[in-house]
Each structure stands twice: as structure tokens, then as C-alpha cells.
Amino acid sequence: MSVFNTSPLVIEPATTANACLIWLHGLGADRFDFEPLLRSLQLPTTIALRCVLPQAPERAVTINGGWVMPAWYDIVSVSPEREVAQADVAECAVYIQQLIDEQIASGIAPSRIVLAGFSQGGALALHCAYRTLQQPLAGVIGLSTYLLNSGEPANATNLAQTPLLYLHGQRDDVVPFSLGQHACAALSKLGVSLTAYQHAGYHEVPASCLGLIQTWLNERLP
């Protein structure tokens, strides 16, 4: 039985969708967390963007005293890199592939699908985009996040063909800015076409980043 028993929040465009943004929330949040930001996106009328906001299942999270909360995967320790439950990550990767397959079946090509995520959701987005997805996408957006340690090999095709927009706050007190720097350096070394910005904020996506996201989506989804 699947642990993903809550349907994603779907924001449909005014006209028939010809592109899709799948956005993964952070630890302890929910699918409504970034709804206001995504509803405020202003894109050209040629980009009819469907936004899909999945809901993480309820899991006990070790680093939070075993409390049950929305979590893509259990985090066992931070030192400073995250030790995570790989079985949870693998389960989520299958689910993300299913969400993408649904969009493809609806008529949206992988080259017009973007996968994004904040914090824990961002780590999962990067993992899926560059390790587990069966096809390269239009791009991936990582926000205030980090790379998961995984034994799975990177997908050379996806590394070469899926560009990354990365945003992180210099004063992030949840996911240190240094982890974001490490992620960007490692992915760049693997050949990912990467655009990285840093803002002066904390563990957040400030309004100042909205324009950067809009511009990047406009470039990726002409």
C-alpha cells in the first residue's frame, strides 16, 4: 500500500497546460506551503504552466525526537551532512517518476517539465533529476538544499541535459549555506549547467527570488 495517500494540490493555468512545474515542499510543511508563491508567478501567455504540489507522507523523523510529521524521508543525523533513510528516498523517487509520467501521459513533454524543491524537498528533487529519473527534464530548481549521499550512480544523460537553478540564503540556520556551495560545486564538476544565486536571507524563499525564478522558467520553457 502506498504511503502517498494525499493527492497533490494542482494549480491549473487559464488555458490548456503546455508545461508543468512539480514543486516539493520542505520537512514538516505541506503541499500548500508554496501555493501563494506559485500563484504569483507571472509568465508569458505562451507558457501555460500547470503547478503540481505533492504532499509528503507522515513519517517519524529521528532528528526531531521521533515526532511524526510530513517528511519525504527520515533524517537520522546531521554531522553536518544528512544521514537519511535510503529506503524512504527510493520510495519517493518512484512516486516522483509516477507524477512525471502522469504529466507526460497528459501530453506535456519531459522537455517542458521542471522539478523543484525546497530544503528536504530540494534534496529529493536533485536526487531524482540527476540519479533516478528515466528522462532529462527542462530543468530542476533547488532552494536552500543539499545533496543526498546515495550509492546510486548519477545519470550521465540527465546531468548533461537538465540545467539547474540554485538559490540559497547566506544566513540559513537550518541548511548551512556551505552545504549549498558543496552541492553546486559537485554538480558543476559532473557537468551540470548551473545558475546559482545567493540572497541575504535565512531558510526561506524571499520575494526577491521570485523574479529570478520567473526569468529562468521563461528561458527554459520558451
Name the catalytic one among 30, 150, 182, 203.
203
As given in the structure block, the three cell numbers for residue 128 are: 531524482
Q: What whole-number distance in Å separates Cα of residue 70 and Cα of residue 72?
A: 7
Verify whether residue 172 is a known catalytic residue.
yes
Verify whether residue 88 is a known catalytic residue.
no
Question: What is the three-class DSSP state of 43?
Answer: coil
Q: What whole-number distance in Å separates Cα of residue 51 and Cα of residue 59?
A: 25
Q: What whole-number distance in Å separates Cα of residue 89 and Cα of residue 124?
A: 7
**Strand 139-143, strand 164-169: pairing:** parallel
Verify whether residue 203 is a known catalytic residue.
yes
Name the catalytic one among 33, 74, 88, 172.
172
Side chain identity at 157, as an amino acid letter? Answer: T
As given in the structure block, the three cell numbers for residue 45 are: 501567455
Name the catalytic one among 74, 119, 144, 199.
119
Q: Which residues are catalytic?
A: 119, 172, 203
